[in-house]
Amino acid sequence: MVLDRILLFSTRAAPLPAIPPPGIVMQSIRCPGTMPPVTGPWSGPAIFFRHIARYHLTFQIASYGKFLHLPVARACCTTAGMFTVLQRFAWPLFFCLLCWATPGLASGGGYRPPQDTPLLGIRILHALPHDPLAFTQGLCMHDGKIYESTGRYGESELRVLDAASGKLLRRRALPNDLFGEGLTLVGQRLLQLTWRSGRVLFWQAPSLERIGEARLPGDSWGLAAGPDLLYRSDGSATLQRLRPHDLQPAGSLTVHDQGHEVRQLNELEWVNGRLVANIWFEDVLAVIDPVTGQVQAWVDLSPLRPLLWPDAGVANGTAWDGRNLYVTGKNWNKLFVLRIPNAPWDP
């Protein structure tokens, strides 16, 4: 999450392609041999380098394309201007050089779905507007409303949106020392995690009246409510089960796919007896068996990326209304309503 803050440079919005008509299933093609799962001691650096490379090469450098002409040339004519330009481009240039110097890491890093696990396409029903300033950390739905938790110190909020229009209905600011994270509903009570403060905030839905809080030690990323238990992610491959009435631990669930642990589990959603998880920095959703931890399928969100503005961050935010999947991300300008053909949660 800290990395996101470093990476979110201000860039200019570019024209976006139109949303395709609802009937079209969008699915990328697997490239055999190019998607190995990364394990072992190099997996951490590999993931890190690839994420950096993806951000800067795909978005930042592309976004700066127009900027690289006259303004830069003029700025480079003075020492102060040169310093400003170098300062602005230092991180992209540094990481580009690093990735070019270590092609194995840059191209082979990160988790890739094994070939035997289904990779599902998406059908976009429609797209709602979404506040591009919302650093989305949690999303859930109830009774025609979308509840959203946003992060960052000094900017974290709890929001309620109209599910039909995406319009912001109400918002509550968190104290400046709290970083909003995962969000779920238990009855009419909203539970909002905070990142490293060990505090869970309770709110009444839909009024967003603050009704209390509880302690919950450790890193908190995502939160979902199953019929009997809550599931909390902390960025590892292991989800913690919690009792919903007192948030006491009730075991854990390690998520794996074809023998490989699936790390960076982030925002969560309970969908018809399955857990659906965002993976930090990946445009996929993992569909997880909540008993065994096995990934039953992956949902490919990469077709959404070209429909977003250039500053859109990672996919993070999944909610289920009983029929459709609502998907957004950090600083996304859209909230998509999706159907997933052949999903494991279908009857």
Residues binding Ca ion (CB under 5 A): 139-140, 269, 318
Residue nearest Ca ion, CB atom distance: 269
Minimum CB separation of residue 274 from Ca ion in Å reads 13
Minimum CB separation of residue 165 from Ca ion in Å reads 20
Residue with smaller CB distance to Ca ion, 140 or 288: 140
Minimum CB separation of residue 282 from Ca ion in Å reads 16
DSSP lists the bridge partners of residue 316 as none
CA 121 to chain centre: 18
Residue with smaller CB distance to Ca ion, 92 or 166: 166
- Cis, bond preceding 206 (omega within 30 deg of 0): yes
CA distances from 93 to 52, 53, 71, 85, 86 (A): 11, 10, 18, 11, 9
Residue with smaller CB distance to Ca ion, 105 or 277: 277
Residue with smaller CB distance to Ca ion, 63 or 331: 331
Residue with smaller CB distance to Ca ion, 184 or 333: 184
Minimum CB separation of residue 268 from Ca ion in Å reads 6
Minimum CB separation of residue 259 from Ca ion in Å reads 27
DSSP state of 54: I
Residue with smaller CB distance to Ca ion, 85 or 314: 314
CA distances from 133 to 157, 212, 268, 331, 332 (A): 11, 27, 21, 5, 8
Whether residue 341 contacts residue 123, with contact meaning beta carbons closer than 8 Å, is answered with yes
Classify residue 83 by burial, with Cβ atoms within 10 Å: 0-12, 13-18, 19+: exposed
* DSSP states along 55-87: IIIIIIHHHGGGGGTHHHHHHTTSHHHHHHHHH
Task: Give the separation between CA 38 and CA 50, rounded to whole angstroms.
Answer: 12
Alpha helices in the chain (DSSP H): 2-7, 43-53, 61-63, 70-75, 79-101, 103-108
Whether residue 190 contacts residue 145, with contact meaning beta carbons closer than 8 Å, is answered with no
Minimum CB separation of residue 139 from Ca ion in Å reads 5
Whether residue 122 contacts residue 343, with contact meaning beta carbons closer than 8 Å, is answered with no
Residue with smaller CB distance to Ca ion, 266 or 333: 266
Minimum CB separation of residue 185 from Ca ion in Å reads 10
